[in-house]
Amino acid sequence: MKYETTRFGDLDVKESETLHFPVGLYGFEQERDFIRLPFDPNVESPMEWMQSLKTPELAFVVTDPFLYVPEYSVKLTEDEKKHILYEPSHTLLTRAIVTIPQNYLEMTANLVAPVVINLDTKTARQIVLTSMEYDTRHHLLSEEIREGKVTQ
């Protein structure tokens, strides 16, 4: 199916590539279908886009939180597992929504409300972790890099 986007132009999206969020995202409850796209198809990047298939101008930058916090932990409740149609043989993918301010060195990721994607069913849900060990604005670059203390 063809979808119009403001950032990527017209996209031809297969149903098998569509991520479905039965309850939408927090603050975007009406946004139910997304596609994952490379951040830049010509450059290897830990970032990717999650483009809405309903709203052409809505796209989120997401990343793998385990790249930045190796001990990161997401434990799904039984209800959350049901929402993403999870079975023990399925593969789950976790992504954190990234905020990139004008000074990109200050970019952060929301580790409190990750997106969990069931790759087998293409069903996803944004969950809220109740432990207090993570932050909604976790800096992705070290303080040394952000403050320019790293020399090359």
> What pLDDT is attached to residue 130?
86
> What pLDDT is attached to residue 101?
95
Domain boundaries, the chain: 2-140
Residues 7-37 as b/e (b if ≥16 CB within 10 A, e otherwise) read: eeeebebeeeebbbbeeebeebeebbbbbbb
**Residue 150: band (very low, low, confident or very high) from pLDDT cuts 50, 70, 90:** low
Report whether CATH 2.30.290.10 matches the domain 2-140: yes
Q: What is the mean pLDDT of the chain?
A: 94
**Residue 1: band (very low, low, confident or very high) from pLDDT cuts 50, 70, 90:** very high
**Residue 129: band (very low, low, confident or very high) from pLDDT cuts 50, 70, 90:** very high
**Residues counted in the chain:** 152
For residues 70-87, give the mean pLDDT: 94
Cβ-based burial of 87 (10 A; exposed 0-12, middle 13-18, buried ≥19): exposed
